[in-house]
Structure 1
Amino acid sequence: MIQPTFPALLHTPLGLAADATPDKPAFRFDGASLTYSELADTSSRMARTLVEAGVRRGDRVALFLDRSFQATIALFGILRAGAAYVPIDPGASQQRVREILDLSGARCLVTTEAKRAALPGGFPASMSAVIGLSKPLEAEVDVISWEEALSSPDLGARAQVLSETDLAYIMFTSGSTGTPKGIMHTHASGMSYACMAANLYGLRADDRFSNACGLHFDMSTLDYFCSTLVGASTTIIPDPWLKLPASLAELIEAERLTVWYSVPLALLQLVEFGDLGSRDLSALRIVLYGGEVFVPKHLETLRRLLPDALIGNVYGPAETNQCTWFNVPEGWNADRGPVPIGAACPNADLLVIGEDDADVAPGETGELAVRAPTMMQGYWRQPELNRTAFLERAGAGGETQRYYRTGDIVIERPDGNLDFLGRRDRMVKSRGFRVELDEVERAIAGLPMVSEAAAFTVALREGVTVIRGAAILNPDETIGARDLAAAVARLLPHFARPDRIELLPEFPRTGSGKIDRRALAEQLSGEAQVSGVVGNA
């Protein structure tokens, strides 16, 4: 494993790997390869272009690109220019793109001609250039083509002097409940995560990672920074393959992928429609999932189809990166209930606290708080939010220790592992009772005829709130909504039962593949006021 002296800058391992294995593929995409030496060279030229366009240490550069070699070159180029990259969902609207550019105060935007129609009509005053377009824009901002950018001299003497405490990236939340929050990570927090994950899972130079999510989703940092840290290769999964499970399974086999990391949705689709049993997936040694709960019955099937692979539940908000881990043991079955989020990662300190911020006793429910070197610096330009997002305690030596309040409710098992019970902001009042909407979802999703489920509340009028549910049935299942609701009613107390369950062919998704509960609730409730649907990052 190529192990730089820690702490290091996130792009340092790229240079080390380019020196050690220049002709080795760093990234693969659509059958082509980008070697370590090619990535080092092109990202250096991109960095020089950015510096010549006015980018300085600490500036922000937005990325509005589909996953591709160009996105990879731009990401490392931005870091080498001394800036922080700000990824924008490739499917974002013009309004969303402009919002992120405004909030981040971006100095430059890197994009492609294919995204021209999605660019806003104007740009913030902070912007000096748009890189990646072949024709000028109507807005008064310089335009630099990809050909020009990659024809620049390399960075050379224009390289920025950086510290591990400098910002490396800012990821903005979806903003579904208000102003998007910019999660600030430094080179130190990003590298701490990469090193921790590499050691925890025994990642190696001969591994082939997958990249199945966009740069705007925090999962991508494993695919880009942990892979270069150990000198491995990463295969970028083309978007169409993610929508065709049988083709995706074929690609996993053909590329001989060894490390997979995604939200449960991609794995669920592989289980249901990927015909995994007919594929040689013997190379796949590590399968990680996170971001949402994996329905136990589907996980049981995956465990059976991949008997030799390590299957790991990864937990950690984007604010902290991964902070707990649990490897699903052989023989795991749905009767054992939801998979725990596990124990603290080697570099994480966890607290389970009550409403008074005091530690709760083992076996009692409470909010999870996390302290780790992988933790964010804070929220971008939101001092009030930063004051409430962290819990401060005095350490043994009198120093201040800062914990991030996750908002997730957990309980410690007798074996020390933690169970995730739901979001604090998903606890609602219905008919005078406190109801955890995630418990309602688990009840619906646990039925044998259901593939996926979601639950939310609707305020019909002032003082009247009801629980609603939605479900996607398994293929060839014919049960009706009324019979499904009756089956769910047998599993829940009367006050927690949805007053209606809608059957749908698919759910709206966030850019990271999670269920977009707010969009789903609005779709099914019209103008009714919805709640219990926050947290779709």
Structure 2
Amino acid sequence: MSNRSHAYLLPHLIEQAADASPDADGLRFRDGALTYSELYGRACALANGLLEDGMQPGDRVGILLRKGLESAVALYGVMMAGGVYVPLDPFAPAARIEFVLRDCGIQRLVAGEQTIGTLLTLAETGLELQTVFGVPDEGVLPYRMVPWSTVEPLARTAPVIATTEQDLCYILYTSGSTGSPKGIMHTHRSALSWAEVAASAYELGPNDVVSNYAPLHFDLSTLDYFAGARAGATTTIIPEEVTRFPASLAAFIADERLTVFYTVPMALIHLAQPELLAGRDLDRLRLVLFGGEPMPIKHLRRIMQLIPTARFVNVYGPTETNGVTHYPVEAVPSVDDEALPIGRPYPNVDALVVDAGFEPVPNGEPGELVVRTPTMMRGYWGRDDLNDRAFHTRTPFGGLPDVYHRTGDLAAMQPDGTVRFLGRKDRQIKSRGNRVELDEVEAVLVNHPLVREAAVYAMSNEEGLLEIRAEAIPVQPGVESGELIRHLRSALPSYAVPARIVLRDSFPRTSTGKIDRLAMEAEALATGVNR
């Protein structure tokens, strides 16, 4: 179908699917759909449009789109042109989007008309962009505007680009401990390896209908799009508003006849209500994958009872490595406060639990989980300081060095090879399935001119999920917590904003004068949730 290069790259997944089943639905969204042939053709057209605009191999291209068919066209089109797609959260504050654009040196965006307000705000900051694709030129933005109507007539054959499997294909930005997001770089090889592993592990095939619950900037989406395409399956994109309402989500799963549902524990907790699932035809739903944060046992037991025909699998893996381990749940633990294992490593994954000297610890002993896998990132964009800490090289047999990623997760290896997750070494948590650096939230809060000191920590709420708490010492009386909440919302994504901020005159301290967060958490436990 294409005059492709010799390298095997991520866009070749949809090319192969289009060759095998051109009329099969590759994507569905609301009442629309794209066959694999249509998806491939539209991605080719965008790739040619980007190249005509002067894009060079390796250029980063931002994707500022709400969920829809165009988002898939955009990511494949960017990669076909030899570019690196950088998905942006369209609901994030403009300041955060601006940071990513500047940090990555992005000159081109694929955007939507729903994001014009954000584009106007970015233009007011003096941000220099060359071209925005996907938005008509209304004369209000100082950029070259290329609407879809201009892209669609372009050649629907893939350009020949000198790209290899080792070249970057996407960068995902996650919360950073210094107060700024950090970009995680993945290559075609790492992404393809994960697509192959996931498609094989979960026996995906052309008859499967795979959900896309997560937005593009969330790493769960890579399984939905790439493993689904590798299998020739149909990926059904769940609209944002459907993900917010459990009743709508339950109806969507049944009406779309999903066979594979990949989501976060919070969504399953909200679905685990008999009145939502009673009477719905869920017989085709054979597999429920969940990951992104620990799943409370009491909620898992309930949802498994409500969907008895489905197989449930706990998926573990940081954005840096894609999938590392998985745990098919054969029997729910009988004790609610027992943690669900994260399971055994996927094929071709070497996972070790090591001590501070990076030596493997005995089975059952806690240590840091380090991982060697072909699905691993290249590193952090422009952050050599983080790269130095993120990797460790071992030469266990005196031969060639093996490079491991340091996950920062505490774990214990069981005698049967199953890994148990014990928590974080640092202050990074998962909130609503999204990674949050508590230090970033704290840095933004303390940056407010009326805040002298701030402390941010996480505690389990009544549902057993982590909840972000914040406390602050104001510089003067009369400071309102609502003002500080608004400040955080202007700089952070919604999932990183604490529900409330407690103002106080002083913090508990350690003997060295540092803020004693453990004592603060103990106070919160003793005085109740609404302290």
* Pair in the same fold by TM > 0.5: yes
- Alignment of 1:454 with 2:432, yes or no, is no
Corresponding position of 2:210:
209
SS at match of 1:520: coil
Distance in 1 (alpha carbons) for counterparts of 2:31 and 2:179? 41
> Given that residues 471 and 502 in structure 2 are in contact (C-alpha distance below 8 angstroms), is that contact kept between their aligned partners in structure 1?
no
Gaps of 5+ in 2: 429-437, 439-456, 475-488, 508-514, 521-531
RMSD (Å), alpha carbons? 3.0
Q: 1:426 to 1:175 in 2, by over 3 A?
A: closer
* Residue from 101, 124, 128 that aligns with 2:130: 128
CA deviation after TM superposition for structure 1 residue 141, in Å: 2.5
- Alignment of 1:19 with 2:19, yes or no, is yes
CA deviation after TM superposition for structure 1 residue 185, in Å: 0.2
- Alignment of 1:172 with 2:167, yes or no, is no
CA deviation after TM superposition for structure 1 residue 140, in Å: 3.9
* Residue from 523, 529, 532 that aligns with 2:501: 523
Q: 1:179 to 1:280 in 2, by over 3 A?
A: same
> Given that residues 210 and 261 in structure 1 are in contact (C-alpha distance below 8 angstroms), is that contact kept between their aligned partners in structure 2?
yes
1:369-414 CA-partner distances (Å, limit 9, x unpaired)? 1110000001111112111111111153621111111111111234
1:270-311 CA-partner distances (Å, limit 9, x unpaired)? 113761132111101110011111111000001111222110
SS at match of 2:352: strand
The equivalences for 1:285-304 within 5 A come to: 285-304=286-305
| Percent of aligned pairs with the same amino acid | 40
* Residue from 147, 150, 154 that aligns with 1:152: 154
The equivalences for 1:301-450 within 5 A come to: 301-330=302-331, 332-335=333-336, 337-396=338-397, 398-426=399-427, 441=460, 445=462, 450=463
CA deviation after TM superposition for structure 1 residue 9, in Å: 0.9
The two structures have a TM-score, normalised by structure 1, of 0.80
> Given that residues 285 and 310 in structure 1 are in contact (C-alpha distance below 8 angstroms), is that contact kept between their aligned partners in structure 2?
yes
Distance in 2 (alpha carbons) for counterparts of 1:455 and 1:11? 39
1:23-74 CA-partner distances (Å, limit 9, x unpaired)? 1100001022111111111111011111111111111110000110111111
SS at match of 2:273: helix
Distance in 2 (alpha carbons) for counterparts of 1:29 and 1:13? 20
CA deviation after TM superposition for structure 1 residue 128, in Å: 2.4
> Given that residues 256 and 281 in structure 1 are in contact (C-alpha distance below 8 angstroms), is that contact kept between their aligned partners in structure 2?
yes
Give 2:52's aligned amino acid.
E
CA deviation after TM superposition for structure 1 residue 330, in Å: 3.7
- Alignment of 1:64 with 2:64, yes or no, is yes
SS at match of 1:227: helix
> Given that residues 131 and 146 in structure 1 are in contact (C-alpha distance below 8 angstroms), is that contact kept between their aligned partners in structure 2?
yes
SS at match of 2:194: helix
SS at match of 1:352: strand
Give 2:366's aligned amino acid.
T
1:125-178 CA-partner distances (Å, limit 9, x unpaired)? 87421112112555542111121122222345x431321111010001134742
Give 2:76's aligned amino acid.
F
The equivalences for 1:228-307 within 5 A come to: 228-272=229-273, 275-307=276-308
SS at match of 2:347: coil
Corresponding position of 2:187:
186
Give 1:130's aligned amino acid.
V
Deviates more, 1:405-414 or 1:174-183: 174-183
SS at match of 2:426: helix
Q: 1:297 to 1:6 in 2, by over 3 A?
A: farther
Q: 1:396 to 1:339 in 2, by over 3 A?
A: same
Distance in 2 (alpha carbons) for counterparts of 1:260 and 1:322? 16
Distance in 1 (alpha carbons) for counterparts of 2:170 and 2:199? 20
Gaps of 5+ in 1: 429-436, 462-507
SS at match of 1:242: helix
Corresponding position of 1:114:
114
Give 2:107's aligned amino acid.
R
Deviates more, 1:389-398 or 1:200-209: 389-398
Deviates more, 1:299-308 or 1:315-324: 299-308
Deviates more, 1:523-532 or 1:202-211: 523-532
CA deviation after TM superposition for structure 1 residue 334, in Å: 4.2
Give 2:391's aligned amino acid.
F
SS at match of 2:501: helix
> Given that residues 303 and 330 in structure 1 are in contact (C-alpha distance below 8 angstroms), is that contact kept between their aligned partners in structure 2?
no
